[in-house]
Structure 1
Amino acid sequence: MTGEQSTTHIFQTSFGKVIALKSNGIIKAGSIRYARSERFQKPVAEQPSPSEIIFPDKTPVCPQAISPLVEKMIGPTQIENFDPDESTQYLSIFRPAHFTDQGKLPVVVWIHGGSHEIGCGDLPTSDPSEWVKEQEIMVVTVSYRLGLFGFLGGNDSRPPNLGLFDMIEALKWIKTYISEFGGDPENITLLGQSSGGDAIAHLMISEGVEGLFQRVIIQSAPLGLRHKRQKMSAEFLKKTEVLKDETDVLKMMDEYGKFVPSVIRYGLKAAMPFGVQYGFPPLCKEEESVDKWNAAAEKYDVLIGLNNDETAFYLKTSDALNKYFGKGLGLKIMDKTVEKTTELIYGNPAKIFAENYSKAGGNVYLFRIHSGLENSHVGAPHCIDLPLIFGNESAWKSSVMLKDIPWSYIHENGKKLRALWAEFARSGYISDYSERPEILKIRKISFQ
């Protein structure tokens, strides 16, 4: 946050005295520890603190390998601003500075994406300040364990789904304390993109989440990769056993790439080798998942969808592929491949999810974001929804994904999209009369 000088704001809460920063109409309480953990152990809720809770000098982040593709398409990671921490259970709270405590703000909980392998809750490209100011909502961003630490496992010594357990602990913290920051604990919406959306879909059918949230917004979840992962995960677990006691986490990050499952052997799902695992707490068996979602239909409002050209993010940005498929017949083949893989991984699974949910009596909307620009090489790829939802032009200035898109176009469409998402977060509904951005197609799924 830049502009006016930051001042401190104190929240006197039952969790402790939280020192926040106030700047540009936003109050941010950053990197509050909600739980802690030992390696490969379930998280333990953090207890109230007798001392002041203040911003750390650096943002805690789960140890991870840098993704060259993300660095290129979204922007470089300023690694000097982050501090690797295995026990990375932190959350940050954003709320309007002018809001009075006489009311309670609807709460949106951001679960970041990154293939269950990279990212954190506090990145400049997902700073929700613009959205919070525009719509007078509260946003809580959550960091959790990733990769080897949070989304592999499969036995007693290395249990799976630890990242999901972290999220559940974060939601319990939010439910307990968020009213003391001005949020409404009875109006909580989970928002997730990519693997974050995948995680949210599975939180809907997890044990121990009763009453922790009321709505979900699932963006670009790769639900088509969720099936029959057991054999692949078991192989990956076995091969990484040599790393489980390594004390140097950076060495672990350097080494595990040698053992990533083969796409040739396991198909497209190997492109996301880390993930939630059925048949282990807090999840059911895979064959029970659809019935579990149907049973959840009366509990949660759902807004689910995707970008029209999701896999262009991976395929059309490859120099090697563009050499052969960048023009003429090759480009037609590329376009068809993007279309087919987008539907396989994202589109059809989202449609089936929404239709099943509606048939079970659920309130569900299905959306699709299009490019709306002529001669756009990548169209509306994976992650294009992030600048639309979060804005923050300065954070996206190095993004190759946006290099041919005027920021005014992103802002104009993003402001309308943010208003719709906030409307859903407040009530679970989107009015037929609410203004739509030109890039969005959205409809309520209804089977009556």
Structure 2
Amino acid sequence: MLSLSERALQTTVKNQTIHLHTFDTPFGKIQALKENGVLKAASIRYARSERFKMPVPLPYAETESVPDKTPVCPQNISPLLERLIGSTDPEKFEVNESPQFLTVTRPETFSENEKLPVVVWIHGGSYEIGCGDLPTSDPAAWVKEQNIIVVSVSYRLGLFGFLGGDERRPANLGLFDIIEALKWIRNYITSFGGDRENITLFGQSSGGDAVAHLMISEGIENLFRRVIIHSAPLGFRHKRQKMSAEFLRNTALMQDEKEVLKMTEQYTKFLPSTLRYGLKSAMPFCLQYGYAPLCKEEESLALWRERARQYDVLIGSNHDETAFYVKTAEKGIYTYLPNSVLDRIVRITTVSIYEKPARIFAENYAAGGGNIYTFRIHSKIRNNAVGASHCVDLPLIFENREAWKHSELLKNVPWEYIRNNGRKLRTLWAEFARTGRISNDSDLPEILELHKIQ
């Protein structure tokens, strides 16, 4: 039974009965939607910000109502992502230049006085697109199965959050947003039945990169205990200073533009050249070393090693990370190359961007005495041309068949295959979130390769 102070409400929208619960918290009254065995308190504003300014935490909830639309940072819709994951319905989202919102999803019922482990979801999207609260990252199945709480965080992206370096446009504002969200979670998650002493950060792609760097950020003491890092492009983190400085200069004229969507449309004219900066120009927005809350680049490995005993780590990637980008390209040189050459390109780029940097990270962390596991996800489906490509881990963790049904990433992949492997993977990751360990007796899915680094 629920041990929290709640008030059950019921309302009708378009002849459909909606059940609500109101949480009485020190932050204020917050309504949650009751659906499919979970309670979801959506789009809680944890901070506000003016353009290119630091986030300011809120002392109380601005509203207790359930929002009609999901707030998102201004961004361009990515045609590649639309093919990879599925089409986005713009009518369900509302552009907001101050997108500091989070969503709390927890089981509908649990034992009295039980404190549930908390997983904080940091979404990916190259620091440029996405938000925390998407159908393709709906944690309901995971929350209900494993009796955990998942908090999904949105933060500033692109020009607004991850390009800076001067007095008018500070760097790493999006990272500061995430830190404010973690402070909010630390302060208020007990009101939702969460254990503030057992918080795990879970990030995928650029979200994984952000999680890795939160471990060495200033001002994060006691905000989390464990991290799960999926497909972090750590190979893109090196020697970005010149590229970022050039991109910052070229977009200076846009900083006072009143129409935010005009800003997102126009910055693409100034994207860094691949010929000049190599593969890392594929992710033009990123965290920037040497600016708060981060250290200098040359200090990063030593700082991870120094903090190794503070956090349990689970880090890994998919075997064919770059396959979707290489093998489904609709134009360019890749369309003319034979499969054998494309396979070689996929392996080389996957190793350089994801696998080798993760291995260096893990070995360095273990050398500092840290508790760290590495993993790799494979595809066992023969007629799946892209194999275990980037983002294939998402439907495994966030099982939502309706949201993923049009994804080209899962073309010719039976949903039962996703469901069966996903259930086992969710069980393992929840075990890690609870204890920081994965037992040798745990049932591994056939797609997973897992190692404890000694």
TM-score (norm 1): 0.97
Aligned partner of residue 6 in structure 1, secondary structure: strand
| Amino acid in the other structure paired with 1:224 | G
1:334 aligns with 2:342: yes
Distance 1:367 1:296 in 2: 21
Deviation, structure 1 residue 127? 0.3
Residue 8 (str. 1) matches residue 20 (str. 2): yes
Offset from partner CA, 1:189-230 (integer Å, 9 cap, x none): 000000000000000000000000000000000000000000
Secondary structure of the equivalent of 1:153?
coil
Q: 2:155 aligns with which of 124, 134, 144?
A: 144
Instruction: Note the C-alpha offset of 1:347.
Output: 0.5
- 1:445 matched residue in structure 2: 453
Within 2, Cα distance between the matches of 1:351 and 1:265? 27
- Structure 2 Cα separation of the partners of residues 13 and 348 of structure 1: 45
User: Structure 1 residues 178 and 73, CA, compared in 2 at 3 Å: closer, same or farther?
Assistant: same
Task: Name the CA distance, whole Å, in 1 between partners of 2:44 and 2:212.
Answer: 25
CA–CA distance in structure 1, aligned partners of residues 167 and 334 of structure 2? 45
**1:375 and 2:383 are equivalent in the alignment:** yes
- Shift in Å, 1:270: 0.4
1:296 positional shift: 1.1
Amino acid at match of 2:345: T
Q: Is the 8 A contact 2:247 2:272 kept in 1?
A: yes
The question of whether the paired residues in 1 share the 8 Å contact of 2:43 and 2:101 is answered with: yes
Correspondence for 2:56 among 30, 38, 44: 44
5 Å-filtered alignment, 1:222-301, equals 222-301=233-312
Provide the residue aligned with 2:399 in structure 1: 391
Q: 2:423 aligns with which of 395, 398, 415?
A: 415
Give the distance between the partners of 1:80 and 1:296, measured in 2 at CA: 44
Paired AA for residue 169 in structure 1: E
Aligned to 1:426: 434
1:363 to 355, 368, 371: 371
User: In 2, distance between residues paired with 1:378 and 1:6?
Assistant: 41
Query: Which amino acid in the other structure matches residue 364 of structure 1?
Result: I
Structure 2 match to 1:216: 227
Aligned length: 438
Q: Is the 8 A contact 1:30 1:54 kept in 2?
A: no
Please say if residues 5 and 23 of structure 1, whose CA atoms lie closer than 8 Å, have aligned partners that are also in contact.
Answer: no
Cα RMSD, aligned residues only: 1.0
* 1:305 and 2:316 aligned: yes
Residues 32 and 90 of structure 1 are in contact (CA less than 8 Å); yes or no, is this contact kept in structure 2? Answer: yes
Tell me the residue number matched to 2:204: 193
Which residue of the partner structure matches residue 343 of structure 1?
Answer: 351
Letter in 2 for 1:198: D
- Output the CA distance in 2 between the equivalents of 1:140 and 1:337: 37
CA contact (8 A) 2:22 2:30 kept: yes
Q: For each residue in 1:394-414, what CA deviation from the matched residue of structure 2 results, as whole angstroms up to 9, or x when unmatched?
A: 000110111210000000000
CA deviation string 1:133-175 (max 9, x = no partner) = 0000000000000000000011111000000000000000000
Deviations 1:252-273 (A, max 9, x none): 1110000000011000110000
Equivalent in 29, 34, 40 of residue 46 of structure 2: 34
Q: Look up the SS of the partner of 1:10 in the other structure.
A: strand
Q: Please state how far the C-alpha of 1:322 moved relative to its aligned partner.
A: 5.3
State the distance in 2 between where 1:99 and 1:91 align.
22
Return the letter of the residue paired with 1:360: G
Runs of 5+ consecutive residues of structure 2 not aligned to the other structure: 1-15
CA–CA distance in 2 between the matches of 1:55 and 1:10?
10
Q: Which letter maps to 1:79? A: P
Write the letter of the residue equivalent to 1:118: I
The answer on whether the counterparts of 1:11 and 1:20 sit within 8 Å (CA) in structure 2 is yes
Structure 1 segments, 4+ long, off by >3 Å, are none
**The 10-residue stretch of structure 1 (357-366 or 312-321) with the greater mean CA deviation from structure 2:** 312-321
Structure 1 residue 61 and structure 2 residue 72: aligned? yes
Unaligned runs of 5+ in 1: none
Q: CA deviation at 1:5?
A: 4.9
1:323 is aligned to 335
Distance of 2:254 and 2:66 partners within structure 1: 32
Structure 2 residue aligned with 1:90, among 101, 105, 109? 101
Q: Which residue of 1 aligns with 2:142?
A: 131
Structure 2 length-normalised TM: 0.95
SS at match of 1:221: coil
Partner Cα distance (2:304, 2:166) in 1: 26
Equivalent-residue separation in structure 1 for 2:335 and 2:440 (angstroms): 45
1:102, distance to aligned residue in structure 2 (A): 1.1
- Could you tell me which of 419, 423, 435 is aligned with 2:443? 435
**Aligned partner of 2:444: which letter?**
R
Alignment deviations for residues 23-74 of structure 1 (CA, whole Å, 9 cap, x no partner): 111000000000000000000001114x642222110000000100000110
Structure 1 residues 246 and 101: CA distance shift in structure 2, 3 A? farther
What is the DSSP-based 3-state SS (H/G/I as helix, E as strand, rest coil) of the residue aligned with 2:251?
helix
Greater mean alpha carbon deviation, residues 5-14 or residues 399-408: 5-14
Compute the displacement of 1:319 (Å): 2.4
Partner AA of 2:117 in structure 1: P
Question: Partner of 1:352: helix, strand, or coil?
Answer: helix
Name which of 150, 172, 177 aligns with 2:183: 172
| SS of residue in 1 equivalent to 2:307 | helix
Structure-2 separation of matches of 1:60 and 1:323: 37
Q: Which residue of structure 1 lines up, in the alignment, with residue 9 of structure 2?
A: none
Q: Aligned partners of 2:17 and 2:415: how far apart in 1?
A: 26
